[in-house]
Amino acid sequence: MSGNSSRSSGLFIVGVGASAGGVAALEHLFRTMPLDTGAAFVVVTHIGSHRETLLAEILARHTAMPVVNASHAQRVEANHVYVLPSDAVLTIAKQYLHLLPAAINQHERYPIDIFFASLAKAAGENAVGIVLSGAGSDGSLGVKAIKEEGGLTIAQGHDQSGPAHSGMPSSAIATGLVDVVLPVDEIGPKLREFFRAFDVLKAAESAQDNPQESLSQALQDIHATLQKRIGHDFSRYKHKTLV
């Protein structure tokens, strides 16, 4: 297991990428997001250069969680929402956000990929990447990075509320590396299920008084049940990462 702070603390960090049509999707996401997931949320969008964003203020109307514009060297906390400000590229190391001026990064048109890639390294199995409405393919490479580290990936599926622009979620789904495709209103409740399921596995693997063979069989049964319910293969998690 890596010694970085995110994994050792058990904090799940959820990266949320959105672009065209993304404000409405984000409003739906946080309106239906449980307040007690215990995860930190980082929102990355495509913001035009020198364009002031009021996204943090807008999202604060739809959740009781604190919502703030991300700042350099800021430590992320559970049940808080951090929003990428304009004219910046956002990355994360351990549990600390890092802001760089967008102009110095030649890949600034792919801020979601950049953040997801850093999130994968920082949080490993505790990383979650969500791709919402947007044109283009930003987020697809980031989804790959998160899956390589064993994290969870989610894309917005179609329902009456969207996505308004399906390019980004469709591109992510086409990679074959998205674990769950859901209408945006269902993502929050599913996330809470996932986090609770992870806690069940952690508790099961911490049962030191069980014989190893019986524990192994019990975990296989739990993995199968959780994959059916949650849509995520927990058997890929190394035992030592959960204890």
Question: Would you please indicate which residues are annotated as catalytic (active-site) residues?
Answer: 19, 46, 138
> Buried (b) or exposed (e) across 6-30, using 16+ Cβ within 10 A?
bbeeebbbbbbbbbbbbbbbbbbbb
Pairing between strand 88-93 and 96-101? Answer: antiparallel
CA-CA distance, 79 to 77, in Å (whole number)? 6
The span from the CA of 85 to the CA of 102, in Å, is: 10
